Amino acid sequence: MKRERLDKVLANMGFGTRKEVKQLVKQGRITVDGTTATDPGMHVIPEEQEISVDDEPLTYKRWIYVMLNKPPGVISATEDARHETVVDLLPYEWATKVHPVGRLDIDTEGLLLLTNDGQLSHNLLSPKKKVDKEYFARIEGRVTEQHVQAFAKGVELEDFTTLPARLEILSSGDVSEIKVTIMEGKFHQVKRMFAAFGLQVIYLKRIRMGSLHLDESLEPGEYRELTEEELDALRGRER
């Protein structure tokens, strides 16, 4: 377990900037294992030691799990030379630690999980695990029962044939509204599946990944931490 500076730990936990938390220490408001801290630079092991602010013990969170309703126009990466990235939308203490679990195109909206838990991330992205992803989309053109059947068989693209996908038509017309569930996450997959039938996706939003549903109360650009229940379900354990 890592030893870290007390002021850094407190700042990471949202108690203010390094400068502000130094003040808290100076004011004698921080204790470590029951002893008042005097040196903001003292080294602590946050998982093992009891750090209190105004006698309130803190629970240190090593693992961060954030659900973001990704807005259009931001890149699913931790850094990019030209565009704003999804981590830029998060508070500094999370932004420096997490990575997005998979990618959504720049114009795609909706559910994106960000975490520093590499194991969970790996499990969710592993092709072997076949974690399904559900999208809502608007399609230019008429989506019909034939497309539903073709998707159910798997769609042949240039470089591979997709696994069977579930297509549900919500409305069909010059612009159709659909829900589609796919089991892979290849580059531009949903757009390419519709393009194979000459149809263009004009709006795409991910609404579910495995057991994790997008919290519809989150506006685009808003985020929240996962609940314990959501986390257990994602890990495949019921509470």
| Active-site amino acid positions | 105
- Region binding ligand URA by CB under 6 A among candidate stretches 47-55, 93-101, 104-112, 139-147: 104-112
Is the CB of 182 or the CB of 231 nearer to ligand URA? 182
Site residues for ligand URA, 190-219, by CB under 6 A, read 190-191, 204
CB 135 within 8 A of CB 102: no
Secondary element (H or E) of residue 57? strand 56-57
Q: Which residue number, 94 or 135, has a Cβ lying nearer to ligand URA?
A: 135
The answer to whether the beta carbons of residues 214 and 111 sit under 8 Å apart is yes
What binding mask, one character per residue, do residues 165-194 give for ligand URA by CB under 6 A, x or -?
Answer: -----------------------xxxx---
- Interaction mask 107-126, ligand URA, x per CB under 6 A: -x------------------
User: Which of the stretches 7-15, 101-109, 214-222, 230-238 binds ligand URA when contact is defined by CB under 6 A?
Assistant: 101-109
Instruction: Give the C-alpha separation, 25 to 41, whole Å.
Output: 10
21 binds ligand URA (CB under 6 A): no
186 CB-near residues (< 8 Å, 6+ apart): 160, 162, 192
Please give the structure tokens belonging to residue 197. 């039938």
**Residue 178 identity:** I
72 phi, psi to nearest 5 deg: -70, 155
Residues 6+ apart with CB under 8 A from 25: 6, 7, 37, 38, 39, 40
Token pair for 12: 């990471």
Nearer to ligand URA, 22 or 70 (CB): 70
Select 190 or 231, whichever has its Cβ closest to ligand URA.
Answer: 190
Q: What residues numbered 66-95 form the site for ligand URA, per CB under 6 A?
A: none
Q: Which parts of this chain interact with ligand URA (CB under 6 A)?
A: 104-105, 108, 188-191, 204
